[in-house]
């Protein structure tokens, strides 16, 4: 029986990493104001305010997800802008990433996930009870509020 040449050790596949669910939210601007949305569910988040958005679906870019989510939740068309630097943990396995966005058409309505909306000027930003995880992004979004 002939000896077979030594084979290199097979490469081990990279250890699978826990998939992270990315939630994309929008800092939506219109005439120098930022849109805040009050969650209607789940109970532990209901009544708190957030930047509207939702989970990235397989095959979607974050910008595509943002356009889809704001269409579904608010009934508006938006143009995504820049990503606000940073990433904020939500529940285990979920992270929040935020993009600026400009309103192209429609008047936002709380169609899904929310029961109230408010356009806030810079001086009004502290008047709602933001979800803790959204606060750093809201602070950054405020710095980018376009002058009217």
Is 90 a binding residue for ligand CDP by CB under 6 A? The answer is: yes
The interface region with ligand CDP, picked from 9-17, 74-82, 130-138, 140-148 by CB under 6 A, is: 130-138
Distance CA 57, CA 82 (A): 20
Distance CA 130, CA 133 (A): 8
Task: For residue 79, give every residue at least 6 positions away whose Cβ sits within 8 Å of its Cβ, in sequence order, or none.
Answer: 101, 102, 104
Distance CA 125, CA 33 (A): 9
Interactions with ligand CDP, residue window 67-86 (CB under 6 A) = none
The interface region with ligand CDP, picked from 12-20, 76-84, 118-126, 131-139 by CB under 6 A, is: 131-139
* CA-atom Rg of the chain in angstroms: 20
Which of 33, 133, 138, 141 is the binder for ligand CDP (CB under 6 A)?
133
Contacts to ligand CDP by CB under 6 A? 23, 25, 45, 50-51, 53-55, 90-91, 94, 96, 113, 131, 133-134
């Amino acid at each position: 029986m002939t000896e077979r040449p030594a084979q290199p050790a097979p490469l081990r596949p990279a250890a699978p990493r826990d998939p992270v669910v990315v939630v994309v939210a929008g800092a939506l601007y219109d005439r120098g104001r930022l849109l805040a949305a009050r969650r209607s569910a789940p109970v532990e988040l209901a009544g708190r305010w957030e930047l509207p958005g939702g989970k990235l679906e397989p095959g979607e870019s974050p910008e595509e997800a943002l356009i889809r989510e704001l269409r579904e939740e608010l009934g508006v068309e938006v143009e995504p802008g820049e990503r606000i630097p940073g990433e904020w943990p939500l529940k285990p396995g979920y992270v929040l990433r935020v993009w600026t966005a400009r309103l192209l058409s429609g008047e936002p309505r709380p169609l899904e996930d929310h029961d109230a909306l408010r356009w806030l000027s810079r001086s009004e930003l502290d008047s709602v009870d933001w979800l803790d995880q959204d606060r750093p992004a809201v602070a950054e979004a405020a710095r980018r509020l376009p002058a009217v």
